[in-house]
Each structure stands twice: as structure tokens, then as C-alpha cells.
């Protein structure tokens, strides 16, 4: 939030400048992390028993003999031309890999945020309306529990209970093994692809599989949404226009939803955009548990084998997504609030 406010004061130009600086800092950070790693990038390519000559050639090819600042400029140039190198594990350009896996994660995160907001906003409003009475306390414990659970563990327990024991939902992956390869990958959003191909069984299977990881992710992000909704709502409920609404003879419910809630919508949009970014974090862990072939799984599996090209690009992409969400939430603020128009 302070960023946004500062952005508004500095105007659009200042904002673009600050975004540029942050992006540049992001690049320095990923570059530095990439260079301090103890695993030898040359060895990772040429293997353990390559001759000294081969090693030297690759060493020079990678530009590791040149000074740091020169290497950094090469890195900048590569990033500017969207050349992020090749993944050692898949042998594909990293960018292609990421664009391939990202839709799975976006699908998951979008379902999760719908669930999280759908749960968190009403709970937050309820907590504010019943401040310091038992619904408030109950909601606080419920939402803090969601925030406190190690999501990889909850994921496993939930799989055990709802899939293995009760059989209510699908297990790991985006769909049953049986359907894999049945739907042509057009957008890589499985739910969209299956609708396009009119494969309703696949669509159902995909829904069955996304419900559990998405609701867990959503539950864990709802804590933040609940708390912010509650505090925004408390601010509004203390305002005079709420009294005006009640004086007009509106019921409690009408006052809360038609008047007070209307005034927090803009703030909520901002919060949800930021919560969406935070979801990506939980996605890394939950994708591992649910064998969800998305961004998080791609990141962790490359992490474990030291595929630094892939890892650093992933980190960069997340950073860029975060910045983009910040800008987006700021934009939404300007669009939706009549006072800033």
C-alpha cells in the first residue's frame, strides 16, 4: 500500500521510474544469486569426466572468463531479448517451459482466489459486524488456523481423507491418468481446452481434481482477506454515512451490504490482487503434494538438480508477476473509485 500511495503522489512518471528501478534491482538479485551458487554450471553441462579442453571451451562459451560487470550486461541483453537460456533438465528453452507450465498454476490460483475471497470477505464482514463477540473470536481462530497450517501437510491429510478414504474428489494431477493426452492442448488451461474439445468427461475430471488443492490454497489465503476485510469494514461502520443509512430506515443488512460494503470494494480489489500473488507461494508447495504439473513443480524439481537457468528465470517471473499485480491493483483502484476519477 505505501508503494501505491507514493506512486500516486509522484504521478505516473515517478511510478514508471520506480517500477524500472525495482525491475533492475530484481535483475541484479537474480544475477547475483545465480553467480554465488557453489555448483559449477560448466560441470553441470559437460559432465564429470569431460577433458580439460572441453571444460575450458564451455567455460569461455558461457562467458565466465569475462569480468562480472560484462557478464551482467550480457545477462541484461539476454533478458531484454527474452533469451533465458536452456533448461538442463528438459533441454528446452526455459521461457518455453515456463509458458507451458504457467497455465496450470494460473488455473489453480484463480480457483483458489475465488474460493479464498468467497470465504474471506463474508467472514471478514461478519467479524466486523460482531466485533468482540463470539462470531468474531470464532472467525479469528478459524482464519488464523488456515494461515497457520503447513499447506503441504494439510494437502496430504486432505488427500488421505477426501480422496483415499471418502473418494469424494480426484487424486493428484490435473485429471485422471486415463484422460491424459485426450484433449488437444490449445491454451493449456485444461478446463478451457476440454470445453473447446467438448470433452465433458475430461472437464468433469479436471474439476474433480482442482477442487481440493484450490480450496486448500484458498483457505490459507482467506486469513489475510478476512483480516483486511474486517479492518476495512470496521473503519466504514464507524462512519457517519452508515448512521445516515440507518436513519433512512434501512435494515442492518441493507446498511452493511449496500452502503458500508460498497465503500470497501475498491480496497478489497487491491487486497485480492496482492493475495493472488501470495498464492503463488503456496502453489509451489501444494503442487508438489498434488503432483500438479505447474510452475511450482517446475521450480522445485529444477531446484533439486541445480538447474540454475530455470530456477533464476522462475524467480524473475514471479518477481515480475508481483510487480504486475501491484500495478494492476493500483490501476483498479483508480478505475473503481469515483474520487480518483
Partner 1 sequence: MSMSHQTARSSTSATTARPRSQSVQTAINILTFLLKSPTSAFGIVVLALLILTAIFAPLIAGHDPYMQNLENTLSPPSAAHFFGTDELGRDIFARIVHGSRITLTIIFLVTITVGPIGLFVGTVAGYFGGKTDVVLMRVTDIFLSFPSLILSLAFVAALGPSLNNAIIAISLTAWPPIARLARAETMTFRGADYISAARLQGASPARIIWKSIVPMCLPSVLIRLTLNMATVILTAAGLGFLGLGAQPPMPEWGAMIATGRRYMIDSWWLVTFPGLAILCVSLAFNLLGDGLRDALDPKQMTKR
Partner 2 sequence: MADPILDIQNLTLRYPNAPTPAVCGVSFTLGQERLGIVGESGSGKSTVGRAIMRLLPDATMQADRMSFAGVDLLNASEKQMLKLRGARMSMILQDPKYSLNPIQRCGDQVAEAYRTHVSTTKSDAKAKAIAMLEAVQIRDPERVYDLYPHEVSGGMGQRIMIAMMLLTDPELVIADEPTSALDVTVRLQVLSILDDLVKQRGIGLIMISHDLNLVRNFCDRVLIMYAGRIVETLDAKDLDHARHPYTRGLLAAQPRIGGPRRPLPVLDRDPSWLSEATL
> What is the contact surface with partner 1 in residues (CB under 8 A)?
3, 21-22, 25-26, 29-30, 33-34, 36-39, 137, 140-141, 144-145, 147-154, 156-157, 160, 164, 277-278, 280-281, 284-285, 288, 299-300, 303-304, 306, 308, 311-312, 314-315, 318-319, 322-323, 326
| 337 binding partner (options partner 2, partner 1, none; Cβ < 5 to 8 Å by kind) | partner 2
| Angstrom distance (rounded) from CA 155 to CA 146 | 12
Measured from the CB atom, the residue of 154 and 222 that comes closer to partner 1 is: 154
Judged by CB under 8 A, the stretch of 75-83, 175-183, 238-246, 285-293 that binds partner 2 is 238-246
Neighbours of 115 (CB within 10 A): 19
Interface with partner 2 (CB under 8 A), residue from 50, 88, 207, 250: 250
3 state DSSP class of 93: strand
3 state DSSP class of 86: strand
Query: Cell numbers of 148, please?
Result: 497457520
Query: Cell numbers of 4, please?
Result: 501505491
Measured from the CB atom, the residue of 52 and 341 that comes closer to partner 2 is: 341
| 37 binding partner (options partner 2, partner 1, none; Cβ < 5 to 8 Å by kind) | partner 1
Distances (CA, A) of 70 to 56, 65, 67, 315, 340: 19, 10, 5, 22, 45
253 near partner 2 (CB under 8 A): no
Measured from the CB atom, the residue of 3 and 337 that comes closer to partner 1 is: 3
174 near partner 2 (CB under 8 A): no
Closest to 279 measured CA to CA, from 219, 323, 229, 206:
219
Interface with partner 2 (CB under 8 A), residue from 241, 291, 334, 335: 241
How many CA atoms does the CB half-sphere of 63 hold within 13 Å?
11
247 near partner 2 (CB under 8 A): yes
Q: Work out how close the CB of 62 gets to partner 1 at its nearest, in angstroms, rounded to a whole number.
A: 17
The answer to whether 88 and 45 have CB atoms below 8 angstroms apart is yes
| Structural element, H or E, at residue 99 | helix 94-129
Residues 85-144 touching partner 2, rule: CB under 8 A, are none
| Angstrom distance (rounded) from CA 19 to CA 29 | 15
Q: Which residue has the cell 473509485?
A: 337
Interface with partner 2 (CB under 8 A), residue from 245, 273, 278, 286: 245
Q: Work out how close the CB of 256 gets to partner 1 at its nearest, in angstroms, rounded to a whole number.
A: 20
263 near partner 2 (CB under 8 A): yes
Judged by CB under 8 A, the stretch of 56-64, 154-162, 250-258, 283-291 that binds partner 2 is 250-258
| 253 binding partner (options partner 1, partner 2, none; Cβ < 5 to 8 Å by kind) | none
Measured from the CB atom, the residue of 145 and 254 that comes closer to partner 1 is: 145
Judged by CB under 8 A, the stretch of 35-43, 255-263, 306-314, 327-335 that binds partner 2 is 255-263
Query: Cell numbers of 162, please?
Result: 477426501
Query: Cell numbers of 160, please?
Result: 488421505
Query: Cell numbers of 77, please?
Result: 541483453
Query: Cell numbers of 219, please?
Result: 483457505
Contacts of 127 (CB under 8 A, 6+ apart): 135, 136, 139, 140, 226, 229, 230
Q: Work out how close the CB of 204 gets to partner 1 at its nearest, in angstroms, rounded to a whole number.
A: 25
Query: Cell numbers of 294, please?
Result: 505447474
Interface with partner 2 (CB under 8 A), residue from 246, 288, 323, 327: 246
Amino acid at each position: 500500500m505505501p508503494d501505491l500511495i507514493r506512486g500516486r503522489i509522484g504521478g505516473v512518471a515517478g511510478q514508471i521510474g520506480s517500477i524500472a528501478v525495482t525491475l533492475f534491482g530484481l535483475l541484479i538479485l537474480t544475477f547475483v544469486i545465480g553467480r554465488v551458487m557453489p555448483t559449477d554450471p560448466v560441470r553441470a553441462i559437460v559432465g564429470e569426466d569431460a577433458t580439460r579442453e572441453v571444460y575450458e571451451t564451455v567455460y569461455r562459451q558461457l562467458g565466465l572468463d569475462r569480468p562480472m560487470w560484462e557478464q551482467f550486461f550480457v545477462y541484461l541483453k539476454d533478458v531484454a531479448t527474452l533469451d533465458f537460456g536452456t533448461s538442463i533438465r528438459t533441454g528446452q528453452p526455459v521461457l518455453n517451459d515456463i509458458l507451458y507450465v504457467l497455465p496450470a498454476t494460473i488455473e489453480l490460483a484463480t480457483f483458489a482466489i475465488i474460493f479464498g475471497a468467497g470465504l474471506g470477505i463474508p467472514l471478514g464482514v461478519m467479524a466486523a459486524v460482531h466485533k468482540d463477540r463470539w462470531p468474531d473470536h470464532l472467525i479469528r481462530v478459524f482464519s488464523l488456523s488456515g494461515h497457520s497450517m503447513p499447506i503441504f501437510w494439510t494437502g496430504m491429510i486432505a488427500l488421505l481423507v477426501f480422496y483415499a478414504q471418502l473418494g469424494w474428489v480426484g487424486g493428484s494431477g490435473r485429471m485422471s491418468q486415463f484422460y491424459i493426452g485426450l484433449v488437444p492442448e490449445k491454451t493449456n488451461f485444461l478446463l478451457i481446452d476440454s470445453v473447446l474439445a467438448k470433452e465433458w468427461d475430461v472437464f468433469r475430471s479436471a474439476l474433480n481434481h482442482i477442487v481440493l488443492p484450490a480450496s486448500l490454497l484458498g483457505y490459507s489465503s482467506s486469513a489475510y482477506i478476512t483480516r483486511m476485510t474486517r479492518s476495512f469494514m470496521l473503519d466504514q461502520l464507524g462512519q457517519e454515512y452508515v448512521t445516515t443509512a440507518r436513519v433512512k430506515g434501512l435494515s442492518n443488512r441493507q446498511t452493511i451490504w449496500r452502503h458500508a460494503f460498497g465503500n470497501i470494494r475498491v480496497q478489497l480489489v487491491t487486497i485480492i490482487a496482492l493475495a493472488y500473488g501470495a498464492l503463488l507461494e503456496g502453489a509451489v508447495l501444494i503442487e508438489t503434494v498434488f503432483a500438479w504439473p505447474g510452475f511450482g513443480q517446475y521450480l522445485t524439481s529444477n531446484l533439486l538438480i541445480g538447474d540454475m537457468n530455470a530456477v533464476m528465470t522462475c524467480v524473475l517471473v514471479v518477481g515480475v508477476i508481483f510487480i504486475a499485480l501491484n500495478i494492476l491493483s493500483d490501476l483498479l483502484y483508480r478505475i473503481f473509485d469515483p474520487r480518483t476519477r
